[in-house]
Structure formats: C-alpha cells, structure tokens
Structure 1
Amino acid sequence: MLRRLALTAVASLAALSAAAPAATAAAPLIPLPPLPVLQGDWPAARDTATRLTVTVSESGNPAADGAFELECAPAGGSHPEAQRACDLLDEAVESGDNPFVATDRNAMCTQQAGGPATARVQGTWQGEDVDAHFSRANGCEISRWNNLVPVLPTAR
C-alpha cells in the first residue's frame, strides 16, 4: 500500500514537472502595475499608552472612593498608587493576561458576598479600549477585584 502511494506521488510529480515549462513558454509575460509602496500616508503607530479613569464606590475606605486618573509610561495621574498600579498592568502584559475581561457567564462561582463595593475602569490599556465593571458580588468577582489591586483599592 505504501509503495503504491509513493509510486503515485512520483508519477504525479513527474507529470507536473513536464507540463510546467510548456505552459510558461506559451504564455507571454505581463508587466505588473507599479506598487504603491512608498506613496501616501503611513499608518500611525499603534498607541500602546495606558490612560484609565478608575471610579470606585462603597469600598469601605472613604479615601479610596471616587474617580482617579491613571496614566502609565510614565506613571502619573491622580491615582493614589500610580506606580504600583502601572507595574501590575505591565505584569499582565508580560504574562499575556487581560485583567479587564469580564467573568465568563458560565463560570461556577462561590455564592459569597464580598461587600457592596463597585468600580468601573474606562479608557485605554495597551492601545485597546477598556470599559470594565467590577463588584464583589460572588467568589469570581471578588477574585477578579483582588487580582487588580492596587489599580482598584483593597475593599473592606
């Protein structure tokens, strides 16, 4: 069986090799149109900046509630822990994780309450739009929140 398959492959290759030169000899060469390689505007470089607005309420820490601006590279804005928050987001990039992805609707989560804290993160992270909501409504959401501390404050 293997020998028959090999012989068929060799015969097919020989037939194609003989037909290719004859086909190209009969067809005249047609010049290609000029390519627009260096014409027009170049696409803008992808903006990988991080500019986020973090809005937190009912965290149990009045100093942590409110709206804060976070900018990275360099770290700045009104966020109380801008450098640590940017470091955490940089680690997420290096590991290939997106900390702003919502919990899968089919996830099995423990039914525990983590308090009334809520947060919303809006803006751009690594050039991608972000509009993420956070709560502490169940085990999955509590874990998601805790994995984003210090971007989000430690909730009590």
Structure 2
Amino acid sequence: MLPLLLAAALIGPVPDPPPTYGFPPRPTSDNLTVSYMADAGFAMAVKLTCDPPGGGHPRAVQACATLDQAGGDPSRIKRTTTACILLYKPVTATLSGAWRGREVSWTHRFGNTCEMRRATGDLFRF
C-alpha cells in the first residue's frame, strides 16, 4: 500500500476530464448551401455535399472539384475567360456550411449572373 501512496504523491493529482456541454460533434463531411439572390427579386439555392458528391446540385462532381482546387474558398477559384454582356443586374452569391470539417461562410456581389459564373466556375451553375 505504501508504494501506491508514494507513487500517487510523485505523480500528483490526476486532472479532471474536460467538461462536455451536450453539443453534437462538428460534421466531418461537406454539407454546403450554395445560393444566389438577385436584386430583381429571384433567388436560387441548392444543397451540395462533396463526400460523396451529391445534394441537389446538378453539377455536384464539377462543383466539388472546383471547390477542392480552391481549398474551399470561392474567391480563389480561377476565373474563366467567358465574355459577358455589360448588363447591370446585380446578384449576391453565398456559400455557407461545413467544408472539410470547418465552418465556411462566403458572400460576394456580382454585376450579373454571367459575371458570377465566370468567377466561380461550376459552383454556381444551377
């Protein structure tokens, strides 16, 4: 019994485990909402999952590949050279949810849907 007491004295007190607050663990899979809204009043939104590609996005495989190449940041997507009509019909694009286990929230305003798609590739093609 003495060796146990001596060992406990040398080790010191055992710390309590960290408290738990009842929150569910963060999702590790990708679960995103991709949407845009025009100042004219119309809006579009789809769900996008990337592990495996799916959700309601019609080009989920391409959209996930585009996001993967940009590290989950739509502002890092390589712009295409598509020509757009110079017609001002502003739209606000939004991406929110979980990407590779971390929360993502991105919003950007474009002059029209063509400019939005030129800047974001397949991500907002729905």
- Asked if these proteins are the same fold (TM beyond 0.5), I'd say yes
2:68 maps to 90
User: Matched residues in 2 for 1:146 and 1:45: separation?
Assistant: 36
CA distance in 2, matches of 1:89, 1:129: 14
More strand by share: 2
CA distance in 1, matches of 2:61, 2:13: 50
Task: Give the aligned CA root-mean-square deviation in angstroms.
Answer: 3.8
Q: 2:34 touches 2:47 (CA, 8 Å); kept in 1?
A: yes
Which residue of the partner structure matches residue 55 of structure 1?
A: 35
User: Partner letter of residue 128 of structure 1?
Assistant: R
* Count of residue pairs brought into register by the alignment: 100
- Report sequence identity in percent: 30
What is the SS of the residue equivalent to 2:11?
A: coil
Distance in 2 (CA, whole Å) between partners of 1:153 and 1:135 is 16
Deviation at 1:117, TM superposition (A): 2.1
| Alignment gaps of 5+ in structure 2 | 1-8, 77-85
The structure showing larger relative contact order (alpha-carbon pairs under 8 Å, at least 6 residues apart) is 2
Question: How far off its partner does 1:126 sit?
Answer: 1.7
Partner residue, 2:74: 99
Structure 2 counterpart of 1:32, one-letter code: I
Determine the C-alpha separation between the residues in 2 that align with 1:147 and 1:53: 18
Deviations 1:82-129 (A, max 9, x none): 110111112223xxx73368xxxxxxxxxx986412222221112222
In structure 1, runs of 5+ residues without a counterpart are: 1-29, 102-111
**Paired residue for 1:149?**
121
**Equivalent residue runs for 1:22-41 within 5 Å:** 31-33=10-12
> Matches of 2:88 and 2:121 in 1, distance apart?
15
Whether 1:119 aligns to 2:93 is yes
TM-score by length of structure 1 reads 0.47
**Larger Rg, first or second structure (1 or 2):** 1
How far off is 1:50 after superposition? 1.3
Partners of 2:123 and 2:74 in 1: CA distance:
10
